Structure 1
Amino acid sequence: MKKHAQTPRKPSIVIGETDHQRLNKLALAAADRLPEISDGLLLELERARVISDGSVPGNVVRMGSTVEYETDTGGGRTVTLVFPQDADISAGKISVLTPIGTALLRLSAGQTMGWTARDDKQHKLTVLAVTKHQAEAEASA
């Protein structure tokens, strides 16, 4: 009898209405330049449960979130998830249109997600903490 490898189940995810709308537009606009990333983002947006912006829990990664995560290779980082025009890797700001940015989006602290790097290698990351969102930071400034 042949054994079948089980595909790990993706964690359930939620996303706010505003992020969902903006990211759908972004993914569609990037389809010609970055088809694999665009498709991956669209698939994740499709499977997400869309909720009102005010109902998104504070521990869920959304645009502008600062996220602490670790990878299966033992590396850990703290980054802020941003739109492509705001990306600056030296400042720890990663674009949602990168494989890891798409993987982080809408996860919550404690969730693990697989992602494929640009070199086609498979990786996993685990969100350790989600801190202040950019909108919250601007509101408290």
Structure 2
Amino acid sequence: MHKTLAGERLLTEIDFARLNNLRGGPLPPELVDALDTLDLVPSREIPPDVVTMYSQVIVEDLETRKRQKLTLCYPADAEPHLGFISVLSPVGTSLLGQRVGAIARWRTPNGDACAAEVVTLLFQPEASGDYTT
């Protein structure tokens, strides 16, 4: 069963501050909207099933059922061919703050609608005690 968690996406206060520092350049409108609507929590209080920056997740494409391991990262660390997905990309923005079981939805640059379920959270920095990465 898929969870619908609209309005229940969470973001750590430190991720919020760092992402706001990116506002010096052009940010995708979806990320600006997310920064304005995600609920902020201290890093030590983020639930272990929430996708934060540098989380590693397994997502499953709802159409193809193909699974991929992705790591959500800042633009300077992005290497899409290795699964390091920038938070500025449509996929990255859609994953930020999602919980395991949620459906991330985004549009490709050519306008195609895509959706993937967050199947597993393999690693979350905060869950491992890293509150500053």
Q: TM-score range by the shorter chain?
A: 0.7 to 0.9
How far does the alpha carbon of each residue in 1:73-107 deviate from its partner, in whole angstroms, 9 at most, with x for none? 22221111111111112322111111000001110
Q: Is residue 64–residue 133 contact of structure 1 (8 Å, CA) maintained in 2?
A: yes
Identity of aligned pairs, percent? Answer: 26
Structure 1 gaps, min length 5: 1-7
Per the TM alignment, residue 72 of structure 1 is displaced from its structure 2 partner at its CA by 2.3
TM-score scaled by length of structure 2? 0.84
Structure 2 residue 115 is matched with structure 1 residue 120: no
State the AA in 2 paired with 1:88: E
The partner residue of 2:60 within 61, 70, 75 is 70
Q: Is residue 20–residue 45 contact of structure 1 (8 Å, CA) maintained in 2?
A: yes
Per the TM alignment, residue 9 of structure 1 is displaced from its structure 2 partner at its CA by 7.6
State the AA in 2 paired with 1:30: G
Structure 2 gaps, min length 5: none
**Aligned residues: CA RMSD:** 2.2
Structure-1 residue corresponding to 2:82: 91
Query: Which is helix-richer, 1 or 2?
Result: 1
Are residues 137 and 95 of structure 1, via their aligned partners in 2, closer, same or farther at CA, if it must alter by over 3 Å?
A: farther
User: 2:30, 2:7 → 1: CA distance?
Assistant: 15
Aligned-partner SS, 2:52: coil
Aligned-partner SS, 1:42: helix
Runs of 4+ in 1 over 2 A off after TM superposition: 8-11, 133-139
The partner residue of 2:39 within 49, 52, 60 is 49
Per the TM alignment, residue 10 of structure 1 is displaced from its structure 2 partner at its CA by 2.9
Structure-1 residue corresponding to 2:25: 30
Aligned-partner SS, 2:115: strand
User: 1:86, 1:123 → 2: CA distance?
Assistant: 24
Aligned-partner SS, 1:73: coil
TM-score scaled by length of structure 1? 0.80
User: 1:76, 1:61 → 2: CA distance?
Assistant: 17
